């Protein structure tokens, strides 16, 4: 009895929340925008270095957001890896005896790698970019993991740390370089804006893929014995 | 007229899959319906003229999140019981 | 009322459904699903409201793209934490606190 009264109360609160938010949305929809953001954007597109507006916003006009976002991803990756308890990254029970998955892997993994590269390159002037390419790359890694292929670069070590830190480090270096050079923080010199954006997107793709893959791989908890205090796993 | 019909059906499907995800009996079924929700969201992004978001939602929202949650659902079912 | 505004309102309703599920459901993985629903609702509301006159607006699309990637990182971290909690305690829900003043 008490439980259903509680549930009804929560339902009432959520309904009130939805109605208030809907009224707020309709109210905002009435008022005209104070700044014509799409107009401003299309005027400044020539100075950004790329032709696709979403990529220009992500990596040039609002690049600070992207810098913080990759920082958040690295922190999540570090936290996930440190909590997990994986005894082996070559879990024998994962190695598949399913011939269909084995055949699909041999076809799909190269195709997906090429697709990731295309998405990264196409982000300059059509929909695509670092995030989509990083996601496809992570999906390739997940498929390899599901088939039981041993992936040495995910073992805790130099390669993993390099992959995780590279995106954020390079992005931050470029941001600081322009600040040291006399301009504002994260202001690319317009002459080399395109090359800088390509470089940043490449390392961003690698880092995003590495973080997502590390978070996915570190999730399985084998039925391993817990090490005692002070022992290493 | 057909555009309103398409948008209305898509929104109805989005809300229906959202409710079905949260309140379906089986955990595995809930995650599978969540993957379907992700794909419907990708369609919604296409209708909202945002192809980057559609790509990202299809790859990340439906693909990676779905695999992650399926793996988790399987492990939470087996293993030590309460 | 344009179609994009309809999507924004659908996003608001999605937020409400997700919030209700987040509060009332007990299983941790279902709470995670509800959390993702709230996120998707917020993204729909953001883009739908900004594009209510029909032309695509790149700035909220870029913000939502960032949001989608951060959401999956948070979801993956939450899955790691939930599995660790399950591994250590065997429970898939949070234990209710034992209140001192209740005579059981």
Q: Is residue C41 part of a domain?
A: yes
Nearest-10 crossing angle of helices A63-83, A158-180: 160
Give the DSSP letter string of A57-68. IIIIITHHHHHH
Secondary structure (3-state) at B9: helix
Q: Does A111 touch chain C (CB under 8 A)?
A: no
Which one of B8, B73, B81 has the shortest CB-CB distance to C29? Answer: B73
pLDDT band at A93; cut points 50, 70, 90? low
| pLDDT the model gives residue B82 | 35
| pLDDT the model gives residue A25 | 94
Model pLDDT for residues B16-66, shown as the tens digit of each residue: 999 999 999 999 999 999 999 999 999 999 999 999 999 999 999 888 999
A 46-65 residues inside an 8 A Cβ radius of B = 54
Q: How many CA atoms lie within 13 A of A93 on its CB side?
A: 3
Question: Under an 8 A CB cutoff, do A135 and B68 touch?
Answer: no
The rounded radius of gyration (Å) of the Cα atoms in chain B is 15
Lowest mean pLDDT among A113-117, A219-223, C55-59: A219-223
Q: Is residue C83 part of a domain?
A: yes
| pLDDT the model gives residue A3 | 76
Q: Which residues of B touch A212 (CB under 8 A)?
A: 64
To the nearest whole number, what is the mean pLDDT of chain C? 89
Lowest mean pLDDT among A9-18, A68-77, B2-11, C49-58: C49-58
Element (H, E) at C20: helix C3-24
pLDDT surpasses 80 at A191: yes
Model pLDDT for residues A43-56, shown as the tens digit of each residue: 888 888 888 999 99
| C80 burial via Cβ count (<10 Å: 0-12, 13-18, 19+) | buried
pLDDT surpasses 50 at B80: no
| pLDDT the model gives residue C62 | 94
Q: Which residues of C touch B56 (CB under 8 A)?
A: 65, 68-69
Contact status, residue A60 vs residue A197, Cβ threshold 8 Å: yes
Secondary structure (3-state) at C27: coil
Residue of A nearest to B65 (CA): A216
To the nearest whole number, what is the mean pLDDT of chain A? 83
**Distance from C-alpha of A186 to C-alpha of A149, rounded to nearest angstrom:** 40
Asked whether this complex has an ipTM greater than 0.85, the answer is yes
pLDDT surpasses 90 at A103: no
| pLDDT the model gives residue A225 | 45
Domain ranges of chain B: 2-78
Q: How far is A55 from chain B (nearest CA, A)?
A: 9
Element (H, E) at C58: helix C58-89
Number of domains making up chain C = 1
Contact status, residue C74 vs residue C80, Cβ threshold 8 Å: no
| pLDDT the model gives residue A114 | 96
| pLDDT the model gives residue A220 | 58
What is the rounded (10 degree) CA torsion for A123, A128, A131, A132? -150
Lowest mean pLDDT among A62-66, A140-144, C22-26: A140-144
pLDDT surpasses 80 at A86: no
Touching B (3+ Cβ pairs <8 A), the chains are A, C
Lowest mean pLDDT among B67-71, C11-15, C40-44: B67-71
Which DSSP letter does residue C90 get? -
Model pLDDT for residues A130-144, shown as the tens digit of each residue: 999 999 999 998 888
Nearest-10 crossing angle of helices C3-24, A2-30: 160
Q: Which residues of A touch C77 (CB under 8 A)?
A: 76, 79-80, 215
Domain ranges of chain A: 1-31, 48-220
Domain encompassing residue C46: 3-89
**Distance from C-alpha of A232 to C-alpha of A226, rounded to nearest angstrom:** 10
pLDDT surpasses 70 at C99: no
C 3-62 residues inside an 8 A Cβ radius of A = 5, 8-9, 12-13, 15-16, 19-20, 23-24, 45, 49, 52, 55, 57-59, 61-62
Tell me what the mean pLDDT of segment C53-73 comes to.
92
| pLDDT the model gives residue A233 | 46
Give the DSSP letter string of chain A. -HHHHHHHHHHHHHHHHHHHHHHHHHHHHHSPPSS-HHHHHHHHGGGTS-S-HHHHIIIIITHHHHHHHHHHHHHHHHHHHHH---S-SS-GGGS---HHHHHHHHHHHHHHHHHHHHHHHHTTTSS--HHHHHHHHHHHHHHHHHTT---GGGSTTHHHHHHHHHHHHHHHHHHHHHHHTTS-TT---GGGHHHHHHHHHHHHHHHHHHHHHHHHHT----SPPPP-TT---
Q: How far is B79 from chain C (nearest CA, A)?
A: 8
pLDDT band at B76; cut points 50, 70, 90? confident
pLDDT band at A85; cut points 50, 70, 90? low
Q: Which of A85, A88, A69 is nearest to A134 (CA)?
A: A69
Q: Which residues of A touch C7 (CB under 8 A)?
A: none
Q: Which residues of C touch A21 (CB under 8 A)?
A: 12, 15-16, 45
Model pLDDT for residues C39-58, shown as the tens digit of each residue: 999 999 999 999 988 889 99
Q: Is residue C85 part of a domain?
A: yes
**Distance from C-alpha of C95 to C-alpha of C104, rounded to nearest angstrom:** 16
CA angle, A95 then A96 then A99, to 5°: 150
Question: Under an 8 A CB cutoff, do B79 and C61 touch?
Answer: no
**Distance from C-alpha of A34 to C-alpha of A37, rounded to nearest angstrom:** 9
Q: How far is B22 from chain C (nearest CA, A)?
A: 6
Residue C15 belongs to domain with CATH number: 1.10.287.3510
Model pLDDT for residues A5-20, shown as the tens digit of each residue: 889 999 999 999 999 9
Higher-pLDDT residue of A182 and B81 is A182
Question: Under an 8 A CB cutoff, do A37 and C57 touch?
Answer: yes
């Amino acid at each position: 009895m008490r439980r259903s009264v509680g549930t009804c109360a929560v339902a009432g609160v959520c309904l009130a929340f939805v109605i208030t938010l809907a009224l707020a949305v309709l109210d905002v929809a009435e008022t005209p925008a104070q700044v014509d953001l799409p107009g401003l954007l299309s005027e400044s597109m020539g100075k950004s270095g790329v032709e696709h507006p979403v990529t220009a916003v992500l990596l040039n006009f609002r690049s600070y957001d992207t810098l913080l976002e990759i920082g958040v991803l690295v922190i999540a990756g570090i936290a996930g890896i440190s909590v997990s308890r994986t005894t082996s990254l070559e879990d024998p029970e994962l190695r598949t005896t399913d011939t269909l998955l084995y055949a699909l892997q041999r076809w799909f993994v190269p195709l997906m790698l090429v697709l990731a590269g295309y998405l990264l390159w196409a982000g300059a002037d059509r929909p695509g970019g670092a995030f989509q390419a990083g996601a496809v790359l992570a999906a390739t890694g997940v498929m390899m993991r599901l088939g039981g292929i041993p992936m040495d670069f995910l073992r805790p070590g130099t390669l993993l740390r390099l992959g995780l830190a590279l995106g954020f480090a390079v992005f931050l270096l470029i941001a600081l370089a322009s600040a040291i050079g006399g301009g504002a923080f994260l202001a690319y010199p317009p002459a080399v804006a395109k090359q800088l954006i390509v470089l940043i997107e490449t390392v961003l793709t690698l880092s995003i893929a590495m973080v997502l893959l590390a978070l996915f791989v570190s999730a399985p908890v084998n039925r391993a014995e817990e090490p005692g205090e002070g022992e290493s796993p | 007229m057909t555009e309103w019909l398409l948008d209305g059906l898509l929104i109805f499907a989005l809300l229906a899959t959202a409710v079905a995800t949260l309140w379906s009996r089986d955990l595995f079924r809930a995650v599978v319906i969540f993957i379907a929700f992700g794909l419907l969201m990708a369609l919604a992004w296409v209708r909202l003229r945002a192809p980057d978001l559609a790509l990202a939602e299809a790859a990340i929202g439906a693909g990676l999140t779905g695999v992650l949650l399926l793996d988790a659902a399987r492990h939470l079912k087996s293993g030590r019981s309460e | 009322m344009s179609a994009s505004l309809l999507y924004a309102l659908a996003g608001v309703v999605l937020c409400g459904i997700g919030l209700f599920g987040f509060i009332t459901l007990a299983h941790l993985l279902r709470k995670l699903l509800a959390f993702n629903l709230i996120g998707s609702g917020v993204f729909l509301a953001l883009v739908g409201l900004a594009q209510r006159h029909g032309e695509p607006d790149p700035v909220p699309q870029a913000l939502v793209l960032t949001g989608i990637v951060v959401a999956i990182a948070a979801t993956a971290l939450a899955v790691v934490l939930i599995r660790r909690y399950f591994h250590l305690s065997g429970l898939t829900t949070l234990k209710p606190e034992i209140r001192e003043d209740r005579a059981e």
